Amino acid sequence: MSLGTTTTTQQDGVEALLQNARFELMPFDSFDDEIQHLPDDATIAITTSPQLGIERTVERTEQAAEQGYDVVPHIAARYVEGTDHLESIAQRLTDAGVTDIFVPGGDREEPAGSFESAYELLSALEEMPYSFDEVGITGYPEGHDFISDGTLSESMARKEPYATYIVTQLCYDPETVLDWIETIRARGVDLPVEVGIPGVMKYQRLLQISQKVGVGDSIEFLRKTTGILGFVRQLVGSRGTYKPDDLIDGLAPYVDDEEYDIRGVHIYTFNQTPDTEAWRRSRLDS
């Protein structure tokens, strides 16, 4: 690590990361049950589902906002049908009191309309009579399976003027995250970073999800953290359940470093909120 200094105590860093953690939920049928396990003042990010489309994301956003949660909907560009559809979504979100949106490109193979990228949607939104205080874009600490590093760099440079923060893709290795932040800072990107971490869940499910979203290096890291025998012991000792303690402990010393500007964690719960929230509370109480 080469940026700044690390003067934060371990527990202070853990508290800074977890006190205001953001919880990502998928807008499935389990949403109503999952949200009940989260704090009343939680910030909830709601994904765009390939199966359900962006309409369900907007509906769940309106529902959660009505319940008093701070909500950050994912407005995935390739799921929006065009400028009229985008303006309708922006109006509904504004009416619901939403002030923060996250704009990924979306993993739909063929776009639903004219927006093929997050940049195209962000630039179109700029011309509309609706604005949001916070706008998040995606960061890839381990790169992307189908997009070159150069293209990712160019894409971030184009999106940065429209954004106020970055959310990273799922990653298990704090060193990888910190190195990536150093890289984007060297390119002049100074947006604060929300580090995407997995929630608490069974190893088998987590590995399946990781393979699906293309974080192969992270899978290898998870397996070799303490060597293969250590990995097996970890599986047995944890009763097959992963907890992101190593990630939090590795990031904690850097949270007060203005150069890294890590402002919190974005927890990919995969709709497994009870165990994740119990773990978060236990770390805050320790």
261 located within any domain: yes
Mean pLDDT in residue range 253-277: 94
Tokens of 121: 């949607």
- Tell me, yes or no, whether 131 and 227 share the same domain: no
Torsion angles phi and psi, residue 272, rounded to 5: -125, 60
- Whether 134 is covered by a domain: the verdict is yes
For residues 209 and 26, the answer to whether their CB atoms sit within 8 Å is no
Measure Cα distances from 213 to 106, 111, 125, 207 in Å.
12, 19, 27, 10
Token code pair at residue 67? 């319940």
Q: Do 41 and 153 belong to one domain?
A: yes
Higher pLDDT among residues 279 and 231, named by residue:
279
Taking the C-alpha atoms of residue 139 and residue 145, their distance in angstroms, rounded to an integer, is 13
Whole-angstrom distance, CA of residue 186 vs CA of residue 175 = 17
* Mean pLDDT score across all residues of the chain: 87
Any domain includes 155: yes
Range of the domain at 266: 10-200+243-285
Decide if 164 is inside a domain: yes
The verdict on residue 4 lying in a domain is no
Examine the domain organization and report whether 195 and 219 are in the same domain.
no
Structure tokens at 112: 């639903």
Q: Is the CB of residue 55 less than 8 Å from the CB of residue 89? A: no
Domain shared by 157 and 181, yes or no: yes
Q: Are residues 90 and 180 in the same domain?
A: yes
In a domain, 3, yes or no: no
Tell whether 279 and 209 lie within a shared domain.
Answer: no
Reported as a pLDDT band with limits 50, 70 and 90, residue 7 is low
Residue 91 pLDDT more than 80? yes
pLDDT at residue 3, rounded to an integer? 57
Q: Write out pLDDT tens, residues 198-257.
A: 899 876 666 665 555 444 444 454 444 444 444 445 554 555 688 899 899 999 999 999
pLDDT, tens only, 103-115 = 999 988 899 999 9
Phi and psi of 96, rounded to 5°?
-80, -5
Q: According to the model, what pLDDT value does residue 6 have? A: 54
Maximum Cα interatomic distance, the chain, rounded to a whole number of Å: 58
Same domain, 102 and 214: no
Q: Is the per-residue pLDDT at 141 higher than 50? A: yes
Give the pLDDT confidence of 26-83 residue by residue, as tens digits.
Answer: 999 999 999 999 999 999 999 998 889 999 999 999 999 999 999 999 999 999 999 9
Flag whether pLDDT at 149 surpasses 50.
yes
CA distance 274 to 265: 17
CB 192 within 8 A of CB 166: yes
Neighbour tally for 149: CB within 10 Å = 11
Looking at the structure, tell me whether residues 93 and 233 fall in a common domain: no
Co-location of 122 and 263 in the same domain: yes
Domain count of the chain?
Answer: 2
User: Is residue 194 within 8 Å of 167, Cβ to Cβ?
Assistant: yes
**Is residue 2 included in any domain, yes or no?**
no
pLDDT of residue 210: 55
The pLDDT of residue 125 is 98
Determine the pLDDT at residue 221.
Answer: 44
Are 107 and 78 in the same domain? yes
What pLDDT shows up at residue 216?
Answer: 43
Say if 248 falls within a structural domain.
Answer: yes
CB 122 within 8 A of CB 162: yes
150 and 129 fall within a common domain: yes
Domain match, 208 and 277 both:
no
**pTM greater than the 0.85 cutoff:** yes
pLDDT of residue 178: 97
